[in-house]
């Protein structure tokens, strides 16, 4: 409470002085002009202070982003990974499927192989880059899918309430507690191997998470005045959900999604480690680890490189997610404080 | 030190407190002097952000250390400077001799413990009593705070009580050890109007029973009128006027006080204007060079801008103004 | 009380639905059970008879009911591969899994909570930054990779700990730590943020005003409040551990339920696969229910319906 007091104190700066206006000091309630030089000087100081607070908002955003080390590191890492994934194969011309048993198990920097070769003599570097592509692709697909379905389900369940809500809630609780691997194995059993069942499996689990978050938000928002006002005005439920609830719900949903991207990457890796997911010769970071597993003594790079790749990718994603969240969250509190005083 | 019967419990002298914001420190309490004596209720009035809560917290030594700092002055309790006390001695005083209750009872009580265990914990940290003794003391404190069904309530959790009841629990917590001083920071602001009067009454009863010196902080003049013996008006980090309650209401001298009183809508008056004090409190980063209130004052003169007026004694109290005008209703 | 019964009912429904899902999935994942049990030279008629004898020719839902009733009667059948009694297998593998899972579960809280509290108490110090970095990186490391690295480093290279097998304490160390790793990282973060959040709560001010020592205020009151969200996620921890145990048991050759399940799936040993999947599901559901109950107990606001 004292902090809010302090904030109120510090933010109650907005005397209604517009920029560039002539100093027009009068004694309040009279038309006498104040002649004291001290008064004039003070008013100038005040206007200057006011202006400094209204300084370029973009500048302030960039400033606070620059201070946010986590976000920065994450972005840097992410750019590296993205660069390698997209541009790597462009500049590093190699075939990820080409085997060369003569050159198998070579460490990095051996002849032309930047990161060495695996047990089949395939180029590790290009496989790493393509592996990044696969991971990013799966993560993107999973996130898009889970956001779409999750937001929809969450809004429907949260807003409509009643039995619909109970169904939504129980199913999400159920899925959320389920070990991912079991879901994936079962799905693969039904749908066969390949990327699609993996995307579906991870997607389903992530949908549950997003639905939960969205539903929670909607239930909270449902009681707010602007929803009641819309309802009283006769706006249809569908419209309310679309125009009023959706924008408010997007923020927490996206924050959750940023966590889930990391989950998706690790899940895909875990599943491909077991053998589900991307089928050879398409490289997948998890599968590469599985392949390299038996050769740790001969050439540990085969297993360590894809592992490091996964770690870097997940780190990048989580740091960006965390940094964004930190960036927006305390700001939100700040902004609310400001609005109250205006 | 010679003590008289009606002696000063708390003497604040020229207290200065600064707050840290965006790297630098700004003074938010600019030299406050105030005293609280036994068996009286002093009301500290002012709008949000004027520094009254911060002053109160500094008496208890509860200023958040990373954000606020006392930069000058002294706070004497029975002659001893609290600011020089080490934390252990300060802790001993808290609740035992100087107590505080806060504004929002909903968030002010630990939700995972029963109120009985909270009370017993506070009691036992100051007195060497057995558990059953502590329980008896706890029940008595609750009863004296007029909480109905006190002995059964010991097992209740805070969320099971209404706002008014929770505030009574706070009162019980604060007065269980019979302190000499009670600081109440906006104790009724968060409560329903109907409950406010009851709580105020309980507070006043308790104060009279224990003959405590009470500092009641509020922004609500109705509360002041209801319970105050003496009033100190605070604006932008300073005390601008101090007087006994009747004198303050009958004859406010400081233009800010006059503004506050003039701002109370009078139901009996026929058609009038809602008189608001124009302008806003200046930010601590850009303090006026002279009187803090000068920018908003209807009868400021040039000298008001040049030098900060001192808090000088009047016939009934104190006043910080070099050009006071009579209050016209 | 009604609340508890409600949760039990919900749990039962979840159990039933899960078991159906598992049952169907295993059945549908195809392949021929006979391929595993009978030699390749068996004729088609013989296979048909065999299927009929096991009951594979009846409609699926009937098979399901028959199966469930057998399980509930305590006779889930026998393994196709080695004809071992499933109940016996359950006892043996189950005990191992419980040991591993229990150890990992304990590690998560025994290491995670104190580290998180420490980080929250020394905010922005080296300790805090170090612990948080460890936690962030820890959450990014896939635990199967970690398992491989651990085996490679500690077992092969430095020869400090055994690489595989059961059941001595020395053999338990690596798999338990690997299994607990992600949970520890997550718990550290959660504990730290919960502690920090609670330290800013109003009730802390009231307690300090009551003259309580900092140790009490933080060590008892703040901590207790901070533990609420952590306990609530303990159930998810169980599900996560069960899930990862499949991989970890494989890598460390720890003969638990997960390992048996994976082997069975690969060998198309249906009875084992089915039964053990069911067991896993039961464990997960139980775990969630326990966590739910625990959360309700821990947070007084949920206890009484007032």
**What SS3 string covers B220-280?**
CHHHHHHHCCEEEEEECCEEEEEEEHHHHHHCCCCHHHHHHHHCCCCCCCCCCCCCCCCCC
* A59 is a domain residue: no
Among A297, A303, A311, select the one facing C140 at the smallest CB separation.
A311
In B, minimum Cα distance to C225 occurs at B112
Pair A74, A25 in one domain: no
* Mean pLDDT (chain C, rounded): 78
Q: What is the pLDDT of residues C222-281, one digit of tens each?
A: 998 888 888 877 777 887 888 788 888 888 888 888 888 877 777 767 777 777 877 887
| Residue B265: pLDDT band with limits 50, 70, 90 | low
Mean pLDDT, range A112-117, rounded to an integer: 76
Q: Are residues A159 and A13 in the same domain?
A: no
Query: Given an 8 Å threshold on Cβ–Cβ distance, is C207 in contact with B110?
Result: yes
Rounded CA separation A254/A168 (Å): 20
The reply to whether A104 and A133 lie within a common domain is yes
Reading the block at residue B283, the tokens are 């930010």
Compare B11 and C296 and report the one with higher pLDDT: B11
Whether residue A60 lies inside any domain: the answer is no
Q: pTM of the prediction?
A: 0.78
Give me the pLDDT at residue A328, please. Answer: 67
State mean pLDDT over B156-184.
Answer: 90
Half-sphere exposure of C51 (CA within 13 A, CB side): 17
Is B194 exposed, middle or buried (CB count within 10 Å of its CB: 0-12, 13-18, 19+)?
A: exposed
* Residues A23 and A165 grouped into a single domain: no
Note whether residue A203 is domain-resident: yes
User: What residue of B is the nearest CA neighbor of A25?
Assistant: B295
> CA-to-CA distance for C124 and C19, rounded, in angstroms?
49
Instruction: Write down the H helix ranges in chain A.
Output: 2-11, 37-53, 57-67, 69-91, 124-160, 162-177, 180-191, 195-222, 225-232, 237-239, 246-274, 285-292, 301-341
Distance from CA of A135 to the nearest CA of C (A): 13
Strand ranges for chain C from DSSP E: none
Whole-number pLDDT of residue C304:
52
Please tell me whether residues A226 and A313 are part of one structural domain: yes
Q: Which residues of A touch C (CB under 8 A)?
A: 1, 3, 170, 173-174, 176-182, 185-190, 262, 266, 269-270, 273-274, 286, 289, 293, 296-297, 300, 303-304, 307, 310-312, 314-315, 318-319, 322
What is the spatial distance between Cα C186 and Cα C264, in angstroms, rounded to a whole number? 32
* Secondary structure class of A297 (helix, strand, coil): coil
Query: Is residue C165 a contact partner of residue C253, using CB atoms and an 8 Å limit?
Result: yes
* Contact in structure between B211 and B39 (CB atoms under 8 Å): yes
User: What average pLDDT does this structure show over C199-221?
Assistant: 88
Confidence at residue C25, expressed as pLDDT on a 0 to 100 scale = 65
Mean pLDDT of B217-228: 90
Question: Are A203 and A300 found together in one domain?
Answer: yes
pLDDT at A292 over 50: yes
pLDDT beyond 80 at B92: yes
**Residue A61 domain-assigned (yes or no):** no
Average pLDDT of the residues in B28-53? 89
Residues 6 or more apart in contact with residue C105 via CB below 8 angstroms = C180, C183, C237, C238, C241
pLDDT the model gives residue A302: 82
Give the span between the Cα atoms of A11 and B150, in whole angstroms.
44
SS3 A137: helix
Residue-level pLDDT at C113 = 92
pLDDT of residue B275: 60
Of C202, C221, C304, Cβ closest to residue B102: C202
**% of chain B at pLDDT higher than 70:** 93
In whole numbers, what is the pLDDT of chain B averaged over residues? 86
Spatial contact of B170 and B182, defined as CB atoms under 8 Å apart = no
**Cis bond leading into C167, ω under 30°?**
yes
Interatomic CA distance for residues B103 and B88, integer angstroms: 26
Could you tell me if B179 lies within 8 Å of chain A, comparing CB atoms? no
pLDDT at A334: 36
Average pLDDT in the C275-304 region? 74
- Does C305 reach chain B within 8 Å, measured CB to CB? no
Say if residue A146 is in the same domain as residue A92: yes
Q: Which of A191-200, A273-282, B222-231, C11-20 has the highest mean pLDDT?
A: B222-231
pLDDT > 70 fraction of chain C, expressed in percent and rounded: 76
Order of strands across the sheet that contains B68-77: B24-37, B8-21, B68-77, B80-81
Contacts of B107 in chain C (CB under 8 A): 201-203
Residues of B in contact with A42 (CB under 8 A): 286, 288-289, 295, 305
Q: What is the pLDDT of residue C4?
A: 65
Is the same domain home to A37 and A177?
no
Neighbours of chain C (3+ CB pairs under 8 A): A, B
> CB–CB of A74/A323 below 8 Å?
yes
The shortest CB-CB distance from B91 to any of C203, C213, C300 is to: C213
Helix (H) or strand (E) holding B14: strand B8-21
For residue A64, being part of any structural domain is answered with: no
Please check whether residue A289 lies inside any domain of the structure: yes
Residue A241: the pLDDT is: 67
Rounded to the nearest integer, the mean pLDDT of chain A is 73
Taking the C-alpha atoms of residue B118 and residue C224, their distance in angstroms, rounded to an integer, is: 14
Is the CB of A42 less than 8 angstroms away from the CB of B284?
no
> Looking at the predicted structure, is the pLDDT value of residue B231 above 90?
yes
ipTM metric: 0.83
The CATH code of the domain that includes A322 is 1.10.3720.10
pLDDT band of residue A20 (cuts 50, 70, 90) is very low
Q: Which of A179-183, B18-22, B198-202, B252-256 has the lowest mean pLDDT?
A: A179-183
Question: Smallest Cβ distance to A36: which of B51, B282, B305?
Answer: B305
Percentage of chain A with pLDDT > 70? 75
Q: Which residue of A has its CA nearest to C283?
A: A178
Shared domain check, A115 and A14 = no
Q: Which residues of C touch A (CB under 8 A)?
A: 10, 13-14, 17-18, 21-22, 25-26, 28-30, 136-137, 139-142, 144-145, 148-149, 151-152, 156, 200, 202, 235-236, 239-240, 242-244, 246-247, 265, 277, 280-281, 284-285, 287-288
Query: Rounded mean pLDDT of C95-114?
Result: 90
User: What are the strands of the beta sheet with B238-244, ordered from one edge?
Assistant: B98-101, B181-185, B213-218, B40-45, B230-235, B238-244, B318-319, B312-313
Cα separation of B34 and B100, whole Å? 17
Please give the residue that has the higher pLDDT: either A155 or B216.
B216
User: Is residue C110 over pLDDT 90?
Assistant: yes
Contact B110, B122 (CB under 8 A): no
Residue A224 structural domain: 70-341
* CB B279, CB B240: distance < 8 Å: no
Domain for residue A65, yes or no?
no
- Looking at residue B40, what is its pLDDT? 92
* Per-window interface: B 74-133 vs A, CB < 8 A: 102-104
pLDDT for B163 beyond 60: yes
> C231 or C75: whose pLDDT is higher?
C231
Q: CB-hemisphere CA count at 13 Å for B151?
A: 2
Nearest CB to C242; choose among A179, A187, A270: A179
Kindly indicate the confidence band of residue A8, based on its pLDDT and cuts at 50, 70 and 90: very low
Whether the CB of C211 is below 8 Å from some CB of chain B: the reply is: yes
Residue A7 pLDDT class (50, 70, 90 cuts) = very low
Long-range contacts of C232-235 (CB under 8 A, 24+ apart): C232/C291, C232/C294, C232/C295, C232/C298, C232/C299, C233/C190, C233/C291, C234/C109, C234/C291, C234/C294, C235/A177, C235/C287, C235/C288, C235/C289, C235/C290, C235/C291, C235/C292, C235/C294, C235/C295
Average pLDDT value for residue range B306-314:
86
Q: Which of A54, A79, A94 is the last residue of a domain?
A: A54
With tokens 């993560």, the residue in question is A139
Q: Taking residues A86-90, what's their average pLDDT?
A: 78
Let me know whether A128 and A230 are in one domain.
yes
Q: Is residue A92 part of a domain?
A: yes
β-strand pairing of B8-21 with B181-185 = unpaired
Rg (chain B; Cα; Å): 21
The total number of structural domains that make up chain A: 2
Q: Are residue A152 and residue A23 in the same domain, yes or no?
A: no
In this structure, the answer to whether residues A40 and A187 fall within a common structural domain is no
């Amino acid at each position: 409470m004292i902090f809010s007091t302090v904030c109120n104190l510090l933010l109650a700066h907005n005397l209604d002085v517009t920029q560039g206006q002539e100093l027009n000091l009068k004694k309040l309630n009279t038309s006498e002009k104040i002649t004291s030089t001290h008064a004039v000087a003070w008013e100038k100081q005040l206007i200057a202070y006011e202006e400094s607070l209204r300084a370029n908002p973009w500048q302030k955003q960039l400033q606070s982003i620059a201070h946010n080390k986590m976000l920065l590191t994450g972005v840097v890492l992410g750019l590296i990974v993205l660069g390698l994934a997209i541009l790597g194969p462009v500049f590093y011309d190699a075939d990820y499927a080409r085997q060369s048993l003569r050159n198998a198990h070579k460490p990095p920097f051996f002849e032309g192989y930047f990161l060495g070769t695996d047990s089949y003599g395939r180029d590790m570097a290009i496989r790493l880059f393509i592996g990044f592509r696969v991971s990013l692709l799966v993560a993107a697909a999973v996130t898009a899918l889970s956001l779409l379905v999750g937001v929809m389900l969450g809004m429907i369940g949260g807003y409509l309430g009643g039995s619909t809500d109970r169904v939504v809630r129980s199913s999400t609780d159920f899925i959320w507690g389920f070990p991912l691997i079991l879901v994936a194995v079962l799905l693969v059993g039904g749908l066969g191997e390949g990327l699609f069942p993996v995307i579906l499996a991870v997607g389903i689990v992530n949908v549950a998470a997003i639905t939960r978050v969205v539903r929670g938000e909607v239930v909270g928002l449902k009681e707010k005045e602007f929803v009641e006002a819309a309802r009283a005005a006769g706006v249809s439920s569908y419209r309310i959900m679309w125009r009023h609830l959706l924008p408010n719900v997007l923020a927490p949903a996206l924050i959750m999604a940023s966590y889930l991207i990391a989950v998706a990457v690790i899940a895909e890796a875990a599943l491909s480690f077991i053998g589900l997911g991307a089928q050879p010769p398409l490289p997948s970071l998890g599968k590469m680890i599985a392949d390299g597993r038996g050769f740790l003594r001969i050439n540990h790079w085969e297993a360590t490189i894809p592992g490091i790749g996964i770690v870097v990718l997940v780190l990048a994603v989580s740091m960006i997610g965390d940094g964004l969240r930190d960036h927006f969250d305390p700001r939100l509190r700040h902004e609310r404080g400001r609005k109250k005083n205006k | 030190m010679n003590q008289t019967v009606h002696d000063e419990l708390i003497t604040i002298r020229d207290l200065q407190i600064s707050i840290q914001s965006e790297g630098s420190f700004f003074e938010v309490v600019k030299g406050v002097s105030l005293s609280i004596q036994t068996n009286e209720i002093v009301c500290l009035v002012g709008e949000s952000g004027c520094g009254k809560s911060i002053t109160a917290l500094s008496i208890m030594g509860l200023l958040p250390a990373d954000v606020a700092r006392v930069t000058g002055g002294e706070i004497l309790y029975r002659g001893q400077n609290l600011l020089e006390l080490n934390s252990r001695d300060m802790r001993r005083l808290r609740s035992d001799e100087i107590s505080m209750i806060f504004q929002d009872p909903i968030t002010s009580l630990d939700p995972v413990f029963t109120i009985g265990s909270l009370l017993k914990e506070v009691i036992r940290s100051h007195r060497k009593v057995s558990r059953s003794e502590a329980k008896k003391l706890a029940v008595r404190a609750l009863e004296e705070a007029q909480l109905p069904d006190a002995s059964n309530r010991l097992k209740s959790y805070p969320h099971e009580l209404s706002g008014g009841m929770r505030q009574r629990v706070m009162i019980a917590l604060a007065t269980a050890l019979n302190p000499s001083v009670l600081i109440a920071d906006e104790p009724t602001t968060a409560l329903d109007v109907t409950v406010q009067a009851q709580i105020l009454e309980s507070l006043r009863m308790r104060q009279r029973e224990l003959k405590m010196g009470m500092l009641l902080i509020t922004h609500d003049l109705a509360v002041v009128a209801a319970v105050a013996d003496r009033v100190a008006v605070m604006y932008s980090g300073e005390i601008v006027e101090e007087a006994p309650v009747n004198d303050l209401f009958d004859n406010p001298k400081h233009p800010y006080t006059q503004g506050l009183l003039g701002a109370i809508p009078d139901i009996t008056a026929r058609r009038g204007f809602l008189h608001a004090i124009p302008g806003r409190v200046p930010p601590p980063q850009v303090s006026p060079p002279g009187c803090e209130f000068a920018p908003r004052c209807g009868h400021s003169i040039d000298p008001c801008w040049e030098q900060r007026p001192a808090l000088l004694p009047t016939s009934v109290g104190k006043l910080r103004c070099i050009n006071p005008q009579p209050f016209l209703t | 009380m009604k609340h508890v019964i409600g949760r039990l009912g919900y749990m039962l429904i979840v159990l039933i639905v899960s078991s159906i899902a598992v049952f169907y999935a295993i059945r549908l994942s195809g392949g021929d059970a006979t391929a595993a049990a009978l030699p390749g030279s068996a004729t088609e008629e013989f296979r048909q008879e065999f299927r009929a004898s096991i009951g594979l020719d009846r409609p699926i839902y009937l098979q399901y009911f028959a199966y469930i009733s057998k399980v509930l009667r305590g006779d889930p059948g026998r393994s196709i591969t080695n004809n071992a009694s499933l109940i016996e297998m359950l006892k043996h593998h189950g005990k191992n899994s419980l040991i591993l899972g229990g150890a990992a579960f304990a590690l998560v809280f025994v290491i995670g909570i104190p580290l998180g509290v420490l980080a929250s108490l020394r905010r922005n110090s080296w300790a805090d930054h170090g612990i948080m970095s460890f936690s962030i990186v820890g959450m990014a490391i896939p635990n199967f990779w970690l398992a491989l690295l651990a085996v490679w480093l500690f077992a092969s290279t430095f020869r400090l700990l055994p690489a595989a097998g059961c059941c001595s304490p020395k053999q338990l160390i690596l798999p338990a730590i690997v299994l607990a790793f992600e949970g520890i990282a997550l718990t550290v973060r959660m504990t730290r943020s919960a502690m920090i959040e609670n330290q800013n709560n109003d009730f802390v001010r009231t307690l300090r005003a009551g003259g309580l020592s900092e140790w009490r205020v933080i060590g008892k009151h703040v901590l207790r409040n901070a533990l609420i969200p952590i306990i609530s996620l303990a159930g998810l921890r169980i599900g996560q551990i069960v899930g990862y145990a499949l991989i970890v048991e494989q890598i460390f050759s720890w003969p638990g339920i997960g390992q048996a399940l994976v082997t069975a799936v690969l060998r198309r040993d249906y009875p084992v696969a089915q039964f053990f999947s069911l067991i896993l599901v039961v464990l997960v559901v139980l775990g969630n229910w326990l966590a739910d109950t625990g959360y309700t107990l821990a947070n007084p606001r949920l206890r009484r319906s007032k």
